[in-house]
Structure 1
Amino acid sequence: MIQAFRILGWLEGASFLILLFVAMPIKYMAGNPAVVKTMGPIHGFLFVGYVLFANFLAGELNWSGKTRIKAFFAAVLPFGTFWFEKKYLKNEAVAEKA
């Protein structure tokens, strides 16, 4: 289950970075909103999925309220999901395999 959340986190983080650093510059510098119209809904779907999965996983793994809030906050920061995965999910993944 943690592995699925890690994958979702990577997908959500990558879609956010593509939206911020590729789609938005194309929209505003080149005047072409097509990439934003494509990536926006994809990122939105992944974002909602990440937040819902984080909430579910927090209950399953008995995360503290502080860790749960950090997981939610990571979803709105560029590179946040990558940081959260590295800082909080490494130990959880090791414990799940044992």
Structure 2
Amino acid sequence: MQGALTRYRIIAWIVGVCLLTLVLVGMPLKYLADNDTVVAIVGPAHGFLFMVYLVLTFDLARRAGWPFLRMLLVMAAGTIPFLSFWAERKVSHAWVPADLAKSPV
């Protein structure tokens, strides 16, 4: 499960940074300066990486035995700026260690 957690943590940060770049840089440039270069480059990359985020979140949830609602909430966290960072912290420092403590290995 440690490998799945590491993959999830990396993609959560990447998706969070891409989303913040889109919201804080790309959107103001597009709508205030009529320059859509950042949105045109970062937008498709973020879309692809978000799909990877969903797959890796599902993988971690399956391995950790999370309830369906928790998995959906963590997946949805990647759609709200700054929330993916909070979710990554919660997952890696609270939920997964608790799951590891419960499982007999």
Could you state the TM-score of these two structures normalised by the residue count of structure 2? 0.83
Is the contact between residue 19 and residue 39 of structure 1 (CA under 8 Å) also seen in structure 2?
A: yes
Listed as ranges, the gaps of 5+ residues in structure 2 are: none
Ranges of 4+ aligned residues in structure 1 off by more than 3 Å: 93-96
Is the contact between residue 15 and residue 50 of structure 2 (CA under 8 Å) also seen in structure 1?
A: yes
RMSD: 1.9
Corresponding residue for residue 68 of structure 1: 71
Corresponding residue for residue 51 of structure 2: 48
Taking every aligned residue pair, what percent have the same amino acid on both sides?
A: 34
Corresponding residue for residue 5 of structure 1: 8
CA–CA distance in structure 2, aligned partners of residues 18 and 60 of structure 1: 31
| Greater Rg over alpha carbons, structure | 2
CA–CA distance in structure 2, aligned partners of residues 49 and 93 of structure 1: 23
Listed as ranges, the gaps of 5+ residues in structure 1 are: none
Aligned-partner residue type, residue 27 of structure 2: M
Corresponding residue for residue 84 of structure 1: 87
Is the contact between residue 3 and residue 93 of structure 1 (CA under 8 Å) also seen in structure 2?
A: no
Say how many residue pairs are matched. Answer: 97
